[in-house]
Amino acid sequence: MTDQWPSPLDLNVLLGAVEAAPPVAAAEVVGDALGEALGARDVSFLIADYSGRSLIRLSHVPRGMTTASSGRERGDIVALSGTPHGLALAEQEVQVVAEDGGARVFAPVTSRGEAVGVLELALDATPDEHAIAGVARAAHALAYVVIANRRFTDLYEWGQRSLPLSLEAEIQHRLLPSSYTLEAGQFTLAGWLEPAGDVGGDTFDFSLERDTLHLSMTDAMGHTLNAALLATVLVGALRNARRRGVELAEQASLAHHALASYAADDEFVTGQLVRVDLPTGIARIVNAGHPAPIRVRDGHAERVVLQSDPPFSASPSATYRVQELSLRAGDRLVFLTDGMLERNAAEVDAMSILTASRHLHPREAVQDLTRCVVQACGGTLRDDATILCIDWHGGAPRLRDATQGADRAT
């Protein structure tokens, strides 16, 4: 351990420097400031890619020196499984690995559970607790820097793309929430979409109000561009109705009629709309021809029995019932599309896997089931596979520890 480290990083100065820099240089500003404050030999930011299984070290390459496969902002690929990078994200703690008389430090770059990436530093000495805490604070600040600045540039998109996206996948990706994870006092949720080779039109969405959590999952019939367009109309209609403040049944009805006015007679979209009343823990659900959700309670997974109404746009005279489900503290509720349950994925025992992974953070649990489905399909999905998982902690509104991602009563 060293007796004294350089002066701690001043976050006010850091954020001022970030604001003065162009959006494309924001991550480098944080890295340079941290390197100077701690005397680091090397500082790099690795962004989580779209596969959910790897990190990409952002490494700018001057124009004219790239190949068709490398891209200008992509360095080496680092797996999450079995690496200190992955451990930092999974445990939401800084990892320190001894290296040649010094140390290499890996800090999770996260915001409310969203795994943005990892900050990696090479130091000439083993850092003390003060230095580690400074790295953790800088990594947390970097998460907000990336989230704020990715609105203005494709830099981070370039880094995240392991493979080029098709037009259909591009449309589908824009229908998803900007973050796939949300940690809050009364709940934690995470979603994931594993696209098929021919995009199948799956989506998930969520939004938080003061006393209500809104969730949705949809699955458009067919594949490729038409499925993406059906999903676009329905998701747009659902968001428009939600933001108008209408009740759940009316949201479903408005979205149904909007889609029916666009879709052909034989085109439809299945889905589930959910609103969780945070004070009471009552989930109100509309089920439009979609697979039943799975609840993990007291260590066991079971299917939730719901009555099924017609898919959106399937029947001109369709009406949608609101069904209630009471949540208990400790419940896990999982919503799936049929890509997780049918065809080759039918070989996967989702109930057993969800039971075995009940101790994992929802972010890790959705990845665990997705990996099993992809393996069962030989690495090539014939239909999109989508999952949305919510852990209900219950109780009164509370704060959360942003560093650890843990809940704590106030």
Reported as a single tens digit per residue, the pLDDT across 363-393 is: 999 999 999 998 888 888 888 889 999 999 9
Does the pLDDT value for residue 1 go beyond 50? no
Q: Which residues contact 343 (CB under 8 A, 6 or more apart)?
A: 377, 382, 383
> Do 268 and 142 share a structural domain?
no
pLDDT at 346: 76
Residue 129 lies in a domain: yes
Please list, residue by residue across 211-239, b when 16 or more beta carbons sit within 10 angstroms of its beta carbon and e when fewer do: eebbbbbbbbbbbbebbbbbbbbbbebbb
> Do 219 and 70 share a structural domain?
no
Q: Which three-class secondary structure state does DSSP give residue 365? A: helix
d(CA 190, CA 388): 6
Could you read off the pLDDT of 122-159 as tens digits, one per residue?
Answer: 999 999 998 899 899 889 989 999 999 999 988 888 77
Strands (E), 248-356: 269-277, 282-288, 294-297, 300-303, 323-326, 332-336
Q: Which two tokens mark 5?
A: 């480290």
Does the pLDDT value for residue 404 go beyond 70? no
Q: Which three-class secondary structure state does DSSP give residue 213? A: strand
Question: In this structure, what CATH number is given to the domain that contains residue 342?
Answer: 3.60.40.10
Which residue, 160, 192, 210, sits at the end of a domain?
160
Does the pLDDT value for residue 311 go beyond 70? yes
Give the domain extent around 222: 167-408
Residue of 23 and 282 predicted with greater confidence: 282
Residue 28 lies in a domain: yes
Q: How many CA atoms lie within 13 A of 9 on its CB side?
A: 30
pLDDT at 378: 86
pLDDT at 341: 84
> Do 329 and 195 share a structural domain?
yes
- Give the chain's domain count: 2
Residue 37 lies in a domain: yes
Which residue, 136, 160, 184, sits at the end of a domain?
160
Residue of 14 and 280 predicted with greater confidence: 280
Q: Residue 146 in contact with residue 109, Cβ under 8 Å?
A: yes
Radius of gyration of the chain (CA): 22
pLDDT at 104: 95
Does the pLDDT value for residue 70 go beyond 90? no
Residue 4 lies in a domain: no
Does the pLDDT value for residue 191 go beyond 50? yes
Amino acid 203 reads T
Does the pLDDT value for residue 401 go beyond 60? no
With cut-offs at 50, 70 and 90, classify the pLDDT of residue 41.
Answer: confident
**Which of 35, 51, 54 lies closest to 43 in space, CA to CA?**
35
Give the orientation angle of helix 11-20 with respect to helix 26-38, to 10 degrees.
Answer: 150
d(CA 155, CA 310): 42
Which residue, 115, 145, 160, sits at the end of a domain?
160
**Ramachandran class of 92: left when φ > 0, alpha when ψ lies in -120 to 50, beta otherwise:** left
**Which of 317, 309, 222 lies closest to 271 in space, CA to CA?**
309
**Helix extents (H) in 39-176:** 84-91, 129-149, 155-160, 167-175
> Do 174 and 156 share a structural domain?
no
Task: Tell the burial category of 93 from Cβ atoms under 10 Å away from its Cβ (0-12, 13-18, 19+).
Answer: middle
- H or E element in which residue 396 lies: none
Instruction: State the average pLDDT over residues 185-206.
Output: 89
